[in-house]
Structure formats: C-alpha cells, structure tokens
Structure 1
Amino acid sequence: MSDNGREQFEIPKDMRSMAEASVNQARKAFEQFVSSAQATAGTIEERNASVRAGAKDISAKAFAYAEKNVQVSLDYAQSLLKAKDLTEIMKLHGDYVQGQMRALAEQASDMGQVISRAAMEAVKPKN
C-alpha cells in the first residue's frame, strides 16, 4: 500500500498503448468530421450566394416589368382622355389589350428563362 493507504494503480503498457491509439484515432476522425463540416458549410454559403444572386435578378426583372406595365397603362389612360368618340376608344382599347397580351407573353417567357437559369445556377456543382 502507498503512504495514504491506497495501492497505486498502474495501467499495463499494452492497454495504455491501445488506449492512446484509440484516442489518436478518435482525434483524427473528429478532425476529419470538422473539416468535412466546414467544407459543407462553405458549399452552403456558396449556394446561398448563387440563390441570392438569382433572386436579385428575378426581383429586378419583375420590378422592371411592373414599371413598364404601369407606364403603358398610364399612357393608355391618357390616350383615352384624348379620344374623340366611342370608335376611337374601342380602337385604343383593342390596341392596348393586344399590346399587353404580347408583352405578358414575352415577359412570362423571359421570366421563365431567368428563373430557370437561377435554378440551374443554384444546383450547379461547385468545383
């Protein structure tokens, strides 16, 4: 027994070596896990940047279309105020509706392309 009444406990060499190897192996596994987690976080940040850029493009395009459509509607309203008779009002209205239908089709097609590009960019593998 030792001075304070207890026997000194000693871990056998083989067991100590095995424990040290296990600790080292666990440390390496943890470091690999942290490294992978950091890489994944970086990839997510890159994806978020791509998504934000795509969303910004989509918002800018939508705002530009809204602005253009409002301007065309105001021009239409102003032309109605200057119309001389019902025949001219009907012609202005027909022209306005046809123009807006064409614009809407073009805008929808363009917006679909912008959204598609943004979606493709968001899922594109980063190297």
Structure 2
Amino acid sequence: MQEMPKMGEMPEPMRQVVKSSIEQARKAFETFIAASQQAMSNIDTSAAPASHSMKMLNQKIAEFTKANAEANFELATKLADAKDMKDVIELQNQHVRQQMDTFAQQLEELRRLTTEVVTEAASKASTQMTSGGSSY
C-alpha cells in the first residue's frame, strides 16, 4: 500500500494551485456578497412594519456572513501552508475556538436586533389599529 505524503512534502507548485483556488473562491464569494448587498439596498421596505429594524437585521446578517466566510478562507490559506499534521490540528483547533466565540457574540447581536424588529412591528401594528388606518 502506498503511503500518503506528509503535508511538508506537498510540492510548492501544488501549494500555489491550492492558494490560487482559495483566492478565486474568495473573489467569487465577494462578488456574490456585493451583488446581494446591492439587491438588498434596492428593496423598498418603507411600507413594511419594522422596516428600519428589519433592514438593520439584514445588514448585520450579511456582515456576519462575510466575516465568517473570510475567517474560513483565512483558515484554508493557513492550512495550505501547514507543514505537518500537528500544524493542521492546531490551526483547526484555534479556528474552532475563535469561531465559537464569534458565533456567541453574533448570536447575542442577532437576538438583540430580532427583539427590536418584533418591538417595532408591534408598535407600528398597535398604532395602525388604534388609528384605524393601514399603510399596507
């Protein structure tokens, strides 16, 4: 049975191909995010209850998505430079620890923003019910 090559034995040209592929994926993702953000900015939410809060929530979700993807691209680039399995395991462990902290912070921020959306929607609905009008 043929032995698998060690990370340190990966030829440099192959490392460069891997890094180039990661960079191409990063650029494609950035293009997708930019197009998504443009599409979101063109949506008129002025008539929707909780429009301001909802827009802020959507922007925060896009921001988190971009930051999390960037963290994964950075990990992939570092893994391409890893010399041995010890480096790979340490990089992955470090990444998981950092992402778990990040996810906890992001979850708290999303909870706060979601509460604002619900509060704003309830306030607008209450105002519309008491005034007898509808802005839909």
What is the TM-score when the length of structure 1 is the normalising length? 0.58
Which entry has the higher C-alpha Rg, 1 or 2? 1
Which 4+ runs in 1 deviate beyond 4 A? 47-50
Deviations 1:30-74 (A, max 9, x none): xxxxxxxxxxxxxxxxx9444222221111000000000000000
**In structure 2, how many angstroms separate the alpha carbons of the residues matched to 1:115 and 1:86?**
42
Q: Which residue of 2 aligns with 1:19?
A: none
Partner of 2:56: 57
TM-score scaled by length of structure 2: 0.55
Task: Determine the structure 2 residue equivalent to 1:67.
Answer: 66
Structure 1 residues not aligned, in runs of 5+: 1-46
> What is the match of residue 79 of structure 1?
78
Count, aligned residues: 81
2:119 matched to which residue of 1? 120
- Distance, in Å, in 1 between the alignment partners of 2:47 and 2:113 is 17
Q: How many Å separate the matches in 1 of 2:49 and 2:81?
A: 48
> CA shift at 1:121, angstroms?
1.6
The residue identity in structure 2 corresponding to 1:77 is A
What is the aligned-residue identity percentage? 21
3-state SS of the aligned residue for 2:58?
helix
The answer to whether structure 1 residue 89 and structure 2 residue 88 are counterparts is yes
> How far, CA to CA, are the matches of 2:117 and 2:90 in structure 1?
40
* 2:43 counterpart residue number: none
CA distance in 2, matches of 1:110, 1:48: 25
Aligned-partner Cα distance in 2 for 1:116–1:95: 32
Query: What SS does the corresponding residue of 1:76 show, helix, strand or coil?
Result: helix
